Structure 1
């Protein structure tokens, strides 16, 4: 019970830290003359993936490598199937053409890239599957291409650059940055330590804990942002926020994690990777036929996610 309570505290502190870090860093960057477009596409966008990044860094350093891949894949599945599913049930989602034909295919390409990187046995006749440091560097290079693409779109007025930025004094901005960093570090350590302990006590693998409890907790910022956007009728932002987060999770979070510690891929993870690709294909198919995600399609997403998680828990 104590470990579970500490895990919940870790999630609260982590999300709070990410929020304060984004507010403080955005305000400081604005005062230093950085354009709002750049701030929105870097600090704000990276902020939504900060929880996954910090948790994965701790997991990689502690050599809890099964949790590293599980958190990334689990977060992406939760983003598409649960968050977009719930948002579509609230209100059918309109999707911009650039999101449907450029960003969703890019997120699908990222998911396929993980499948390629995680199959050394079949592609290179290796003795085991793992994602190496050099492959992590390649993922970070893909991230730089995505950032440049977003910057070009934003300069042309064709991309959302995030919510209205806060402007604080230098002192308050700096305090928020320090508070945010402290919250991320403390929350991330609490989550990893107690998630591993819970996995051992319940006989669950680190992979399953990463795919379920940890991934849901680290995706709370995306859930809050997307639901709030739908309730304000900014339905296109909900889809863009989720797709952008999925791209950051693979290119940034997985890339940084594998640079710290190469990630072995066990056979069970291959199924998770394939389901992640299936979710991307369904999202592309549903939005491509009319630039909309309808209620019944959202309901199907939620059912798929509930079924997948139930199967994981049953097998564990």
Structure 2
């Protein structure tokens, strides 16, 4: 029965995020915001809602081991699998501004989390509010970038836009589906973990991280196949920033997050992999298929490691 609830929860998460992204993206396009900014903000926020729902639900249930492993596991999955899979369809071109600003900012967010956890093995209420403040700064930064882009946008560019009523219907329905889907995933995943003798950290790094990252995977692959590589990469980078600063920031503000040494190791792995992908991207301003395959192989090795440690 728990497996059925888990599957239903994942379906609600994925479809809810899909409706939310479609409705929100249509609203953003009416404001003439470019693909990269949409990916970093609206789409990233929509595809990160499953992680947010799962981690906040876990925090309210005082299961923060699941909250942090879900966020860190999702970020590693986003970076290595989502980006790696996209390169199988077309090389991921990376804008110079992204290499200088948003990508390094995502690494700084991971280092901040590592610093908070390593110093006291705890992310408390104060640290959570600091992360939320930095997230607010990131949003303001993106809004300013969107305004500049809108000012220089061509009036001749056309978009397929949903009716306003349908946009709000998709957004509201998506949020409701994500909320209930998150509840179902946390409850069923925790029960399954206990039945198999698995820790919350392991179940969060594997089953829950994969399930809540499916929206990012589907959205980015679809964007890559449509040659919207800016949207694909922006979605991943934006989601990783959201997952740490917003998701864990809210979770810590609700209930302090206790770290284990395994959490520290997983964040170090995330930082190392982020730097590696940044190097791949910086070499020729693209991530090619060979580099993408290397990323997928490294992630497979990491999964083997966490399942056997």
**Selected match of 2:211 from 210, 217, 234:** 217
Question: Which residue of structure 1 lines up, in the alignment, with residue 84 of structure 2?
Answer: 85
In the alignment, structure 1 residue 150 sits paired with structure 2 residue 142: yes
Is residue 52–residue 247 contact of structure 2 (8 Å, CA) maintained in 1?
yes
1:200 CA drift (Å): 0.4
Residue correspondence of structure 1 range 110-149 to structure 2 within 5 A: 110-121=109-120, 129-149=121-141
**Compared with structure 1, are the counterparts of its residues 82 and 177 closer, same or farther at alpha carbon in structure 2 (3 Å cutoff)?**
closer
**Compared with structure 1, are the counterparts of its residues 296 and 176 closer, same or farther at alpha carbon in structure 2 (3 Å cutoff)?**
closer
Partner SS for 1:156: helix
Q: Separation in 1 of the partners of 2:25 and 2:277?
A: 31
1:35 CA drift (Å): 4.1
1:190 CA drift (Å): 0.8
Q: Separation in 2 of the partners of 1:24 and 1:65?
A: 31
**Selected match of 1:167 from 159, 162, 165:** 162
Is residue 88–residue 289 contact of structure 2 (8 Å, CA) maintained in 1?
yes
Structure 1 residues 278-306: Cα deviation after superposition (integer angstroms, max 9, x where no partner): 11110111111221112221111101110
Q: CA RMSD in A?
A: 2.5
Question: Which residue of structure 2 lines up, in the alignment, with residue 309 of structure 1?
Answer: 303
Residue correspondence of structure 1 range 16-27 to structure 2 within 5 A: 16-23=15-22
In the alignment, structure 1 residue 4 sits paired with structure 2 residue 29: no
Partner SS for 1:167: coil
Q: Separation in 1 of the partners of 2:127 and 2:68?
A: 14
Question: Which residue of structure 1 lines up, in the alignment, with residue 241 of structure 2?
Answer: 247
**Compared with structure 1, are the counterparts of its residues 43 and 103 closer, same or farther at alpha carbon in structure 2 (3 Å cutoff)?**
closer
Q: Separation in 1 of the partners of 2:61 and 2:277?
A: 35
In the alignment, structure 1 residue 229 sits paired with structure 2 residue 228: no
Which stretches in structure 2 are left out of the alignment for 5+ residues?
A: none
**Compared with structure 1, are the counterparts of its residues 45 and 36 closer, same or farther at alpha carbon in structure 2 (3 Å cutoff)?**
farther
Partner SS for 2:227: coil
Residue correspondence of structure 1 range 30-49 to structure 2 within 5 A: 35=31, 37=33, 40=38, 43-49=42-48
Is residue 37–residue 151 contact of structure 1 (8 Å, CA) maintained in 2?
no
Is residue 23–residue 166 contact of structure 1 (8 Å, CA) maintained in 2?
no
**Compared with structure 1, are the counterparts of its residues 228 and 23 closer, same or farther at alpha carbon in structure 2 (3 Å cutoff)?**
closer
Which stretches in structure 1 are left out of the alignment for 5+ residues?
A: 122-128
Is residue 95–residue 291 contact of structure 1 (8 Å, CA) maintained in 2?
yes
Runs of 4+, deviation exceeding 6 Å = none
Structure 1 residues 177-222: Cα deviation after superposition (integer angstroms, max 9, x where no partner): 4432331222111100000011101111000111111011111111
Q: Separation in 1 of the partners of 2:160 and 2:60?
A: 33
